[in-house]
Amino acid sequence: MPPPEASSVANATTVETPSDFAPEDRSAEPDAARQAAGSTAASFVCPTPLPTKGRIVLGHGSGGRLSAELLQEIFLPLFSNPILNRLDDQAVLEIGGTRLAFTTDSFVVKPLFFPGGDIGSLAVHGTVNDLAMGGARPLFLSAGFILEEGLDTGVLRRVAASMAKAAADAGVSIVTGDTKVVEKGKGDGLFINTTGIGVVPDGVTLSASRVRPGDRVILSGSIGDHGIAILAQREGLEFETELMSDSASLHTLVAAMLEVSSHMPSGVSQGIRCLRDPTRGGVSSALNEIAGQSRVGIEIEEARIPVRDAVRGACEMLGLDPLYVANEGKLLAIVSPELAEAMVEAMRWHPLGAQAQIIGTAHEMHPGMVTMRTVFGSTRIVDMLAGDQLPRIC
């Protein structure tokens, strides 16, 4: 019997992407490995990528297979260099003996204001978090605005004030910027690019390629809040409980996690393998990237993944799977088994990690594949979907 999640996964309007140019390369993945996952999974083997017909479609920005195609066919062959080719969420640059993290993100979220945040705070949190996921202390941001003629200057002021507050809260300075204006009908109110610089502390090396079999997967809290809040706002949906984005800067949670790790006995101190914030593509996409880059299998347990009742309800109503919905204030950590319990304990002291859970384990079988033990006891593949997605979520 196929698990009941089948149709919702296969047909869901999903949002899946890695940040930056970092969708993983799945082209080398053996189909045999996927088939080997057993009959319960066979019906979830991904369809071939949608034909692009030589035109950019919304899916090219979703971070799913079409984004990966764009990356593999256009950007990587042309821009190829050892730093870019690592495909982590941030470049790590060695300059003058210091390791700098460097990351960029453009924000085109619609609507500009939503419960729990707006495009301004999101533009700060998103880039601060991409720095933090490399273990870096975020320091400086640039801000590039593309404004559409006719935008209310009051809207711009509110957004800029929100950016300023988010930056001050995160302890980063906006040190350089740029503003362009395009004619009415050639933009959509307001787009923001933020690019960030941080310093990676000595001894910290996090990368999606460092995961080993036996490592534990930790999730910092409930999933799906950001994507569902945006969708509800955009579509004018009302629920009994207000849906609220989780948009937040995660760097102090990361600092606390690195602190725990540094106090461990030698051998365990390198126990944080990698961190990822499961944004556009949700948890499924982030874990697929990690599994692909480290060539390990990852199995997660559905029962251990916190989802708020309101988010679960909205997902059921809308036919979405929370695993594919964007988060903006959550992180996944892959850590060594010796470190896992202490790490979860420490995370729970932090307000942004209060619901931290070990949700899964890396293993040797099916390298590159993510599977989930469902609440019904069956196992299913958690794949990156081709097909439609929820655009302009960030």
> Can residue 50 be called a binding residue for a copy of itself (CB under 8 A)?
no
> Can residue 236 be called a binding residue for a copy of itself (CB under 8 A)?
no
User: Hey, which residues does 101 pair with through a beta bridge?
Assistant: 92, 198
Residues 324-353 that bind a copy of itself (CB under 8 A): none
> Can residue 201 be called a binding residue for a copy of itself (CB under 8 A)?
no
Q: How do beta strands 91-95 and 332-335 pair?
A: unpaired
Q: Going residue by residue from 6 to 45, which x/- string records binding to a copy of itself, judged by CB under 8 A?
A: -------------xxx------------------------
Q: Answer whether 319's CB lies under 8 Å from 13's CB.
A: yes
Nearest distance from C-beta of residue 198 to a copy of itself, angstroms: 10
- Scanning 33-41, 173-181, 293-301, 307-315 for contacts with a copy of itself by CB under 8 A, the matching segment is 173-181
> Can residue 51 be called a binding residue for a copy of itself (CB under 8 A)?
no
Q: How do beta strands 370-373 and 332-335 pair?
A: unpaired
CA distance 136 to 153: 34
Nearest distance from C-beta of residue 122 to a copy of itself, angstroms: 13
User: Hey, which residues does 362 pair with through a beta bridge?
Assistant: 298
CA distance 81 to 26: 19
Which residues, other chains included, contact 365 with Cβ-Cβ below 8 Å and sequence gap of 6+? Answer: 297
Neighbours of 115 (CB within 10 A): 14
Question: Which residue, 103 or 336, is less far from a copy of itself as judged by CB?
Answer: 103
Backbone angles phi, psi at 331, to 5 degrees: -135, 155
> Can residue 144 be called a binding residue for a copy of itself (CB under 8 A)?
yes
Q: Count how many Cα atoms sit within 13 Å of the Cα of residue 183 in the half-sphere of its side chain.
A: 0
Question: Which residue, 189 or 367, is less far from a copy of itself as judged by CB?
Answer: 189
Q: Answer whether 52's CB lies under 8 Å from 163's CB.
A: no
Question: Which residue, 154 or 377, is less far from a copy of itself as judged by CB?
Answer: 154
Question: Which residue, 44 or 107, is less far from a copy of itself as judged by CB?
Answer: 107
Q: Which of 15, 24, 41, 103 binds a copy of itself (CB under 8 A)?
A: 103
| 87, two tokens | 């495909």
Q: Which of 3, 5, 90, 215 binds a copy of itself (CB under 8 A)?
A: 90
Neighbours of 270 (CB within 10 A): 17
> Can residue 152 be called a binding residue for a copy of itself (CB under 8 A)?
yes
- Scanning 178-186, 211-219, 225-233, 330-338 for contacts with a copy of itself by CB under 8 A, the matching segment is 178-186
> Can residue 52 be called a binding residue for a copy of itself (CB under 8 A)?
yes
- Scanning 81-89, 252-260, 345-353, 371-379 for contacts with a copy of itself by CB under 8 A, the matching segment is 81-89
Q: Which of 54, 236, 265, 377 binds a copy of itself (CB under 8 A)?
A: 54
> Can residue 49 be called a binding residue for a copy of itself (CB under 8 A)?
no
Q: How much is the CA Rg of the chain, to the nearest whole Å? A: 20
> Can residue 56 be called a binding residue for a copy of itself (CB under 8 A)?
yes
Distances in whole angstroms, Cα of residue 30 to Cα of each of 36, 61, 67, 277, 368:
10, 25, 20, 27, 9
Residues 267-286 that bind a copy of itself (CB under 8 A): none
> Can residue 58 be called a binding residue for a copy of itself (CB under 8 A)?
yes
> Can residue 164 be called a binding residue for a copy of itself (CB under 8 A)?
yes
Question: Which residue, 193 or 222, is less far from a copy of itself as judged by CB?
Answer: 193
Neighbours of 10 (CB within 10 A): 16
Distances in whole angstroms, Cα of residue 36 to Cα of each of 54, 363, 373:
34, 15, 16
* Total of residues contacting a copy of itself (CB under 8 A): 82
Nearest distance from C-beta of residue 342 to a copy of itself, angstroms: 31
> Can residue 104 be called a binding residue for a copy of itself (CB under 8 A)?
yes
> Can residue 2 be called a binding residue for a copy of itself (CB under 8 A)?
no
Q: Answer whether 347's CB lies under 8 Å from 330's CB.
A: no
- Scanning 29-37, 100-108, 345-353, 356-364 for contacts with a copy of itself by CB under 8 A, the matching segment is 100-108
CA distance 295 to 117: 36
